[in-house]
Structure formats: C-alpha cells, structure tokens
Amino acid sequence: MKGVLIINLGTPDSPSKKDVKRYLGEFLMDKYVIDMPYLARLLLVKGIILNTRPKQSAAAYKKIWSDKGSPLMYHTVDLVEKVKALVDVPVELGMRYNTPSINTSIQNLKNKGCTEIFVIPLYPQYAMSSFTTVVEKVKKEAGIIDASIKLDFIDPFYKEENFIKLWSNKIKEEKEKSGAEYILFSYHSIPVNHLEKSDCTGVHCNKVENCCEVKSKAHDTCYKHQCIETTKAIVKNLGLQSGEYEIAYQSKLGRKEWITPATAVRIDKLPQEGKKNIMVVVPSFVSDCLETIEEIGIEGRMCFMEHGGEKYHRVDCINSDDNWANVLADWIKNN
C-alpha cells in the first residue's frame, strides 16, 4: 500500500529562548545548511551562533506567535488535514527539524501497512539546504525503520502549472485590492557556493555568462534559475511588463557571499527610485513563517516607510488554501 509523507521545514515548540536555541541547533548543524567540516561547523554553531542568535530569534518569533502557535506549524497541519480528506491513502506530516519528526512519520506510515511512500517536500525550488537535506534524511530514516520501503520523491514544482496558477490568481486578487503599482518577488537567498556545489555538470553555474538563461542540465538543480523561472511563469500569467516587477533574495546568514540583490537593500532603495506603492510576494515559501511575516511583513514594511515609501503590502503565502490542498491531492492521485 502507498502512503504519503508531506514535509515542511519545522519550527520551535515555543518562542522561548530555550526552544528556539534547540531548534536552531538542529537546523544549523545540518551539513547541507552550513557546508563546513563537522568540527568547524560545531565551533561556529555551538561556540558562536547559539550564544547570540537565539535571544534575537526568540524575540522575532514572539512577534508572530499566536494562540494557535507557530504560523508555519498550524498552516501546515491544516493543509495536511485537508489533503487527507481528499485522498484515500494514509498521509503523514513530518518536519525536517524538530517535531513531528520524519522518523516518527515514516514509522506511522509503516504501522498503517504502507510499503511505498510518496514524499512531497514543500519546497518549490531545488536547493541542497532544503530539498536535498529532506531527501537524504528520509532515505536515512526509512533505511533504519525498514530498508524495503520504496521511496518516491516529487520533483521541485517551481513551474508546475497549477502551482503557478495558484500564485498568479492570488497576486492578481491582492494587487487589485491593494492598488499596488510595483511587485517585488522575494526569494530566500542561499550561499553562492551552494549553486556551484549543486551544479551536476560542474561547468555551468557562475562559469557561463548569463548562466541562468543559457540552457543546461545544471538547471535541474539550480536554485537561482528555478526562482527566475517561477517569476517568469507568474509574470506571464499576470501580463506584467518589464519595469513593473523585480526579483530579490532575503534572509542572508553569516559572512559568505549570498545570491543578490538583497531584498532588504531593495526595499530601502525602491522609494528613492519612485516606487512608493509596492507589494511583496514570496514564492519560495508555501507557508507563512518567521521569514515572511516578521522579516518581510514587519521589518520590511518599517524600513520601506522610513525610506519614503507610502504603501506596502505583503502577500500571504498559499498556506492551507483549499485550492493548494486540491493541487497536492491531484499530485498524490496521479503518482
């Protein structure tokens, strides 16, 4: 029997410094997130980052926490419950970090008689720090529980027609309501060297001029290319023209070179360029979380207004939208 495992990033159990520190410890010690030798990563994370960042992050989490808990958690739980009601196979939710763990979720599916698992990481674009780490974690935990379990992973769905249509319809509706005159597409940034490490050809990413536009097998695992393609598809659906939108990248961590332009920099500069009525869209996230609500919705708005902006609108993620649940259910049925 087939089962389904839907996986999201994860979240702290509470906005307390203790819970945030435990969550960040697991997240940042992942070799696919901080790609350093183990001892160097250990020194950086536990010797430096975890002594300073948890307090700051806990304060940010407190701004977005509600009576229902963490937005990422309750939106994802709601989504999975809707999907369960639409399909006739067992469906479990797992988080890459914290709970419910991937191990527990796979065990639950095995206990229900599942010998095959269709895995849906909720990451539209490929990145080693998101998609790859989920794939490797699932393989590891499934091997521990029962090596005979057959695993099938959905490909990154960055330009899948129904996914693009969902975002396009949402943006169109929000644009009409808000009256926004300019759209900033903000994607989570990643270190530049992750692009190069993910290049299956070894000779394309950052080595060929205009590499994201030159056709290559490398695009199958190129995060930046896939972000651009997501934007192109949405822009085409909306009929936007050049000069009505742009792409930027948010949430840089550490001193490495990350993909630019930086969202925070662009938000500060847009009013000075005459773009004082904007909306911000975040198509690398399917669930609202710290990065979308606090970083974009609160900090981004404040900085935009401080630099002369007049109207600022953040578009919610697709979260547990009924249409999104239907899309996932169709993928499951057609798998």
Residue of 293, 175, 188, 177 lying closest to 244 (CA atoms): 175
- Report DSSP state, residue 258: B
Q: Same domain, yes or no, for 166 and 40? A: no
Number of compact structural domains in the chain: 2
Same domain? 17 vs 139: yes
Question: Cα–Cα distance between 45 and 330 in angstroms, integer?
Answer: 41
pLDDT tier for residue 318 given thresholds of 50, 70 and 90: very high
Question: Would the pLDDT of 255 be above 80?
Answer: no
Tokens 């001892």 belong to residue: 39
77 and 30 part of one domain: yes
Say if residues 117 and 5 touch (Cβ distance below 8 Å). Answer: yes
- Residue 276's φ and ψ, nearest 5 degrees, are -105, 0
| Residue pLDDT, tens place only, 2-44 | 999 999 999 999 999 999 999 999 999 999 999 999 999 999 9
- Domain identity same for 218 and 130: no
Could you tell me the pLDDT band of residue 253, with boundaries at 50, 70 and 90?
A: confident
Provide the β-strand partners of residue 183: 245, 279
The model's pLDDT over 122-152, given as tens digits with 9 standing for 90+, comes to: 999 999 999 999 999 999 999 999 999 999 9
Which residue, among 9, 202, 219, 228, has the nearest Cα to 102 in the 3D structure? 9
Examine the domain organization and report whether 127 and 268 are in the same domain: no
Could you tell me if 47 and 151 lie in one domain? yes
Question: What region, left, alpha or beta, does residue 206 occupy, with left being phi > 0 and alpha being psi -120 to 50 degrees?
Answer: left
Q: What is the pLDDT of residues 40-59, one digit of tens each?
A: 999 999 999 999 999 999 99
What's phi and psi for 132, nearest 5 deg? Answer: -60, -45
Q: What is the pLDDT of residue 232?
A: 98
Spatial distance between the Cα atoms of 191 and 33, rounded to a whole number of angstroms: 9
- Look at residue 326 in the predicted model and tell me its pLDDT: 98
Measure CA of the first residue to CA of the last residue in the chain; give whole Å: 13
- DSSP state letter for 86: T
Give yes or no for residue 256 having a pLDDT over 90: no
Same domain, 222 and 171: yes
Alpha carbon distance 324, 287 (integer Å): 11
Give the neighbor-by-neighbor strand order of the sheet with 2-8.
91-95, 2-8, 116-121, 150-153
**Mean pLDDT, range 232-243, rounded to an integer:** 96
- pTM, whole model, 2 decimals? 0.96
What are phi and psi for residue 98, nearest 5 degrees?
70, -145
How far apart (Å, rounded) are the C-alpha atoms in residues 189 and 199? Answer: 17
What is the rounded (10 degree) CA torsion for 72, 75, 81, 87?
-90
CA atoms of 59 and 17, how far apart (whole Å): 8
195, 144: one domain? no
Residues 87 and 43 in one domain: yes
How does pLDDT run across 68-108, given as a tens digit for each residue?
Answer: 999 999 999 999 999 999 999 999 999 999 999 999 999 99
Output the average pLDDT for the chain. Answer: 97
- CB-hemisphere CA count at 13 Å for 118? 18
Judge if 129 and 29 occupy the same domain: yes
**203 shares a domain with 70:** no
Give the CATH number, domain containing residue 219.
Answer: 3.40.50.1400
Q: Quick one: pLDDT at residue 324? A: 98
Tokens encoding 313: 């609108």
What local confidence, expressed as pLDDT, does residue 231 receive?
Answer: 98
Of 109, 92, 128, 98, which Cα lies nearest the Cα of 5? 92
Q: At what angle do helices 17-28 and 50-64 cross, to 10 degrees?
A: 120
How far is Cα 73 from Cα 81, in angstroms, rounded to an integer?
12
Q: Hey, how many other C-beta atoms are within 10 angstroms of the C-beta on 186? A: 30
DSSP H helix total and E strand total for the chain: 12, 8
Rounded Cα–Cα distance for residues 248 and 295 (Å): 14
Residue 206 amino acid letter? N
Give 171-222 pLDDT, tens digit per residue: 999 999 999 999 999 999 999 999 999 999 999 999 999 999 999 999 999 9
| Enclosing domain of residue 267 | 161-314
String of DSSP letters for 69-84: B-HHHHHHHHHHHHHH
Residue 202 sits in the same domain as residue 128: no
